[in-house]
Amino acid sequence: MREKSTKPANSLQLKLSIIFIMASILIFIVNAMLIFGINTMTREMDAVYRDNLKLNELAEALADVQNNMTDYLNTKTSDSLERYYKSEQDYYKLVYELNNSVTGDTYDLMEKNIRNMSNEYIQTTGYAIEAKRGRNVERYSAEFDKASRLYNYINTYINSLNNERFKSNSSNFSELLSAFRFFETISIVMMVAALLGSSVFVIGFTSSIIDPIRKLAKSADEVAKGNFEIETLEIRTNDEIGVVTKAFNKMVASIREYIEQIKENMEHERKMQEKELRIESTLKEAQLKYLQTQINPHFLFNTLNAGAQLAMMEEAEKTYDYIQNTAEFFRYNVREGNTTVKLADEISLIDHYIYILNVRFSGDIKYEKDIDESLTDILMPSMILQPIVENSINHGIKEMEGRGKITLRVYSEDDNVFISVKDNGIGMTQETIDKVLSGELTEEEKAAPVGAHGIGMDNVIKRLRLFTDREDSVSIVSEGEGKGTEVIIKLTNGGSENV
């Protein structure tokens, strides 16, 4: 429906029609001219000898009159008389057509003379016939003599005129002939020129129509081969081809767009998969490392449980608690599979860990918590906080002989949940912080402070970054040597729940 309303101004049909009609008109005109020229020529050629024919007719008619008159005068038969009258009539008719006016043309004058003499002649023959009828011998022979003389004169005139006309007509004719030749040459030249001209224009014009089609075909071929990176076709005309070309351009652009979109989607999906794989693999790595450091956690756990029961039976409360905490701590580590845990679980692991350490180091570490309980359901990767705390103790406050202090804070700001592990230990230089965050610590540097579990900070940071998908998920703040260190984990509130 729409196409009908926007019908191209110069439709293909119109163009083609113009080509053929124009070519036909050109050829028609050339032909018409040729026919006209040939007709004119023929007419002229005809006219050249028409006069001669007429004069010959006249001469014959005159001879008839003379013969019939002579015949009658000889034989006096009514038959010859009849023939005489008939021939006289014929001759008179012919004579009547001759020129009777005075012009400057010699031939016209000769015609006039022939006409006048003929009238005289007819009159004279009439008298002769009359005299013969009246048996006036003297008179009719005199009239016959006069008529004969006139007959000779007229004949001479006719012959002369015929001759002269023939002479001038012959020169006319040769001129006509040369003109005809000239015309022939011109005609051939014109015909060839018209042929060449129309050929050139037909070829030019059809190629102007065909060219866009050819380009379109080439482009379509390219597209069929799968190459969408083709140049946009130029739309030159306003006809059907123009419309098709426009549509083709649009189609190619649309296809390109769709392909781009699909590619993007695929890329995104691939990234997601990769991320998950990496998360899993790092966790596996952490667990592997952990397992490498443990002989047999399950055995240890069971052993500890047995120890706790034993302490219970001996009513040694403190021992029981200690063993129980230790058992809890190890149980957390030997849980099967869960890569993601709730924040509360991590916090309770810290609690156990700190308890154990305090027992070990006889209450040297002060441990403070400032936790927004509403945020403890948030999900996060497991085995994150413990290594950090371990790190803080090992690097920060191990040497502080009872003055060390760990502060764990959980709070929210905007959409983010912050988990802060702060110590008042030896602190870190900005250089070290940068190195840690960018994971550029050497093996040696890493190795030295590694705690019992051996899970390094770089592993923690990597996992957190993978989990949260943001670079700033871990930050370390230290005001300098001896001023303590704060590790802040930033999680998106609720955003990670579905991971």
User: Looking at 89-97, 109-117, 243-251, 441-449, which segment touches another protein (CB under 8 A)?
Assistant: 109-117
Measured torsion, CA atoms of residues 343, 349, 354, 360, in degrees rounded to the nearest 10 = -170
For residue 39, state whether it binds another protein (rule: CB under 8 A). Answer: no
Could you give the CA distance from residue 417 to residue 422 in angstroms, rounded to a whole number?
Answer: 16
For residue 13, state whether it binds another protein (rule: CB under 8 A). Answer: no
> What is the nearest approach in angstroms of another protein to the Cβ of residue 104?
3
Could you give the CA distance from residue 30 to residue 198 in angstroms, rounded to a whole number?
Answer: 12
- Binding residue for another protein, selected from 157, 248, 355, 467, defined by CB under 8 A: 157
The dihedral region occupied by 439, where left means phi > 0, alpha psi between -120 and 50, and beta the remainder, is left
| Touching another protein, residues 399-438 (CB under 8 A) | none
For residue 171, state whether it binds another protein (rule: CB under 8 A). Answer: yes
For residue 18, state whether it binds another protein (rule: CB under 8 A). Answer: yes
Could you give the CA distance from residue 214 to residue 115 in angstroms, rounded to a whole number?
Answer: 80
Backbone angles phi, psi at 88, to 5 degrees: -65, -45
Which is nearer to another protein, 140 or 151 (by Cβ)? 151
Residue 471 in tokens: 């670079």
Which is nearer to another protein, 197 or 494 (by Cβ)? 197
Three-state SS across 467-497?
Answer: HHCCHHHEEEEECCCCCCEEEEEEEECCCCC
> What is the nearest approach in angstroms of another protein to the Cβ of residue 97?
17
- Assess contact for 84 and 68: CB atoms under 8 A: yes
Which is nearer to another protein, 196 or 310 (by Cβ)? 196
Beta-sheet pairing, 485-492 with 416-423: antiparallel
> What is the nearest approach in angstroms of another protein to the Cβ of residue 226?
27
Site string for another protein, 176-215 (x = CB under 8 A): x--x--xx--x---x--xx--x---x--xx-xx--x----
User: Looking at 16-24, 58-66, 334-342, 451-459, which segment touches another protein (CB under 8 A)?
Assistant: 16-24
* SS3 label, residue 227: coil
For residue 132, state whether it binds another protein (rule: CB under 8 A). Answer: no
For residue 273, state whether it binds another protein (rule: CB under 8 A). Answer: no
> What is the nearest approach in angstroms of another protein to the Cβ of residue 172?
4
- Binding residue for another protein, selected from 234, 280, 372, 445, defined by CB under 8 A: 234
Could you give the CA distance from residue 354 to residue 363 in angstroms, rounded to a whole number?
Answer: 9
Backbone angles phi, psi at 486, to 5 degrees: -125, 125
Which is nearer to another protein, 25 or 247 (by Cβ)? 25
Tokens 């702060």 label which residue?
Answer: 422
Tokens 């209450």 label which residue?
Answer: 363
| Touching another protein, residues 48-107 (CB under 8 A) | 102-107
Backbone angles phi, psi at 189, to 5 degrees: -60, -45
> What is the nearest approach in angstroms of another protein to the Cβ of residue 217?
17
Tokens 């190619």 label which residue?
Answer: 252
Q: Is the dihedral of CA 53, 55, 58, 60 positive or negative?
A: negative
Which is nearer to another protein, 168 or 496 (by Cβ)? 168
Residue 341 in tokens: 């845990």
How many residues of this chain interact with another protein, rule: CB under 8 A? 62
Residues at the contact surface with another protein, assessed by CB under 8 A: 10, 14-15, 18-19, 22, 25-26, 29-30, 33, 36-37, 40-41, 44, 102-107, 109-110, 112-113, 116-117, 120-121, 149-150, 153, 156-157, 159-161, 163-165, 168, 171-172, 175-176, 179, 182-183, 186, 190, 193-194, 197, 201, 204-205, 207-208, 211, 234, 236
